[in-house]
Amino acid sequence: MRALRFHGPGDLRVEEVPRPEPGPGDILVQVEVALTDGTDAKAFRRGHPLLLAETPSPFGHEFCGIDTATGRRVVAANSAPCGGCAPCRRGQETLCENLRPFLNGAYAEYLLVPARIAGRNLLPVPAGLAPEVAAMTEPLACCLHGVERAGIEAAQTVAVVGPGPIGLMLCAAARDAGARVTVVGGRPERRELAREFGADPGDGRGADVVVEAVGTEEAWHDALELVRPGGTVLFFGGRELVVDTFRLHYEELTLRGAFHHTPRHVRAALAFLASGAHPWERLVTHRVGLEGVAGLFADPPRDLLKAAVLP
Ligand SMILES: [Zn+2]
Whether 230 and 278 map to the same domain: the answer is: no
Whether 266 and 200 map to the same domain: the answer is: no
Whether 219 and 302 map to the same domain: the answer is: no
Q: What is the CA radius of gyration of the chain?
A: 19
Question: Is 288 part of any domain?
Answer: yes
Distance linking the first and last C-alpha atoms of the chain: 10
Query: Of 19, 237, 76, 236, nearest to 147 (Cα)?
Result: 236
Whether 206 and 66 map to the same domain: the answer is: no
Q: What is the pLDDT of residue 238?
A: 58
Residue 75 Cα to ligand 1 middle (Å): 21
Residue 304 Cα to ligand 1 middle (Å): 36
Give helix 263-275 / helix 165-176 axis angle, nearest 10°.
90
Residue 208 predicted with pLDDT over 80: yes
- pLDDT single digits (tens) 37-80: 988 998 899 888 777 778 899 999 999 999 999 999 999 999 99
Beta bridge partners of 284: 306
Burial of 57 by CB count in 10 Å (0-12 exposed, 13-18 middle, 19+ buried)? Answer: middle
State which of 257, 275, 300 marks the end of a domain. 257
User: In sequence order, which residues have a C-beta less than 8 Å from that of residue 119 and are 6 or more positions away?
Assistant: 25, 80
Do 87 and 124 touch, CB atoms closer than 8 A? no
Q: What is the pLDDT of residue 87?
A: 95
Residue 6 Cα to ligand 1 middle (Å): 28
Residue 116 Cα to ligand 1 middle (Å): 11
Question: Is 133 part of any domain?
Answer: yes
Secondary structure of residue 142 in the 3-state scheme:
helix
Question: Is 145 part of any domain?
Answer: no
Residue 145 Cα to ligand 1 middle (Å): 17
- pLDDT single digits (tens) 69-90: 999 999 999 999 999 999 999 9
Beta bridge partners of 307: 286
Do 182 and 200 touch, CB atoms closer than 8 A? yes
Residue 200 Cα to ligand 1 middle (Å): 39
Question: Is 144 part of any domain?
Answer: no
Give me the DSSP letters along 76-110: E-S----S-SHHHHTT-GGG-TT-PSPP---SBSE
Q: What is the pLDDT of residue 239?
A: 60
Between CA 305 and CA 156 the distance in angstroms is: 28
Residue 94 Cα to ligand 1 middle (Å): 8
Residue 102 Cα to ligand 1 middle (Å): 14
Residue 275 Cα to ligand 1 middle (Å): 30
Whether 247 and 267 map to the same domain: the answer is: no
Between CA 58 and CA 100 the distance in angstroms is: 15
Question: Is 165 part of any domain?
Answer: yes
Whether 54 and 162 map to the same domain: the answer is: no
The total domain count for the chain is: 2
Stated pTM of the model: 0.95
Between CA 55 and CA 78 the distance in angstroms is: 19
Residue 241 predicted with pLDDT over 90: no
Residue 130 Cα to ligand 1 middle (Å): 32
228 — phi, psi (to 5°)? -75, 160
Residue 89 Cα to ligand 1 middle (Å): 7
Residue 21 Cα to ligand 1 middle (Å): 26
Residue 138 Cα to ligand 1 middle (Å): 19
Whether 104 and 206 map to the same domain: the answer is: no
- Chain centroid to Cα 179, Å, comes to 21
Whether 213 and 238 map to the same domain: the answer is: yes
Structural domain for 44, as ranges? 2-137+260-309
Whether 252 and 162 map to the same domain: the answer is: yes
C-alpha dihedral (277, 281, 284, 290), degrees to nearest 10: 130
Q: What is the pLDDT of residue 274?
A: 98
Residue 99 Cα to ligand 1 middle (Å): 7
6 — phi, psi (to 5°)? -90, 120
Between CA 102 and CA 116 the distance in angstroms is: 11
- pLDDT single digits (tens) 85-133: 999 999 999 999 998 889 999 999 999 999 999 999 999 999 999 999 9
Residue 96 Cα to ligand 1 middle (Å): 4
CB atoms within 10 A of CB 66: 18
- Residue 38: DSSP 8-state: H
